Amino acid sequence: MTDTVEFDVPPSGNQIEFRVMDLVRYRDGQMVEHWAVADAMSLLRQTGALA
């Protein structure tokens, strides 16, 4: 992913990396629930929005 979004600091254009975990629950072959958790602290540190 490339830093192109502004988080109270100008975009740097640098490559960034952060982890995401998706949890999905199925019932009768249908997805009935989805949760996603992203490593927001890592994302904010890499963009410079968090020192």
Which tens digit of pLDDT belongs to each residue from 4-47? Answer: 666 677 878 889 899 999 999 999 999 999 999 999 899 888 88
Question: Environment class of residue 49 by beta-carbon count within 10 Å: exposed (0-12), middle (13-18) or buried (19+)?
Answer: middle
C-alpha angle 19-35-50 in degrees, rounded to nearest 5 = 40
pLDDT at 4: 65
What are the Cα distances from residue 6, in Å, to 3, 10, 18?
8, 5, 17
pLDDT confidence tier of residue 3, bands split at 50, 70 and 90:
low
**pTM greater than the 0.75 cutoff:** no
pLDDT at 50: 81
pLDDT at 1: 61
Does residue 46 contact residue 7 with C-beta atoms inside 8 Å? no
- Domains contained in the chain, CATH given: 1-51 (3.10.450.50)
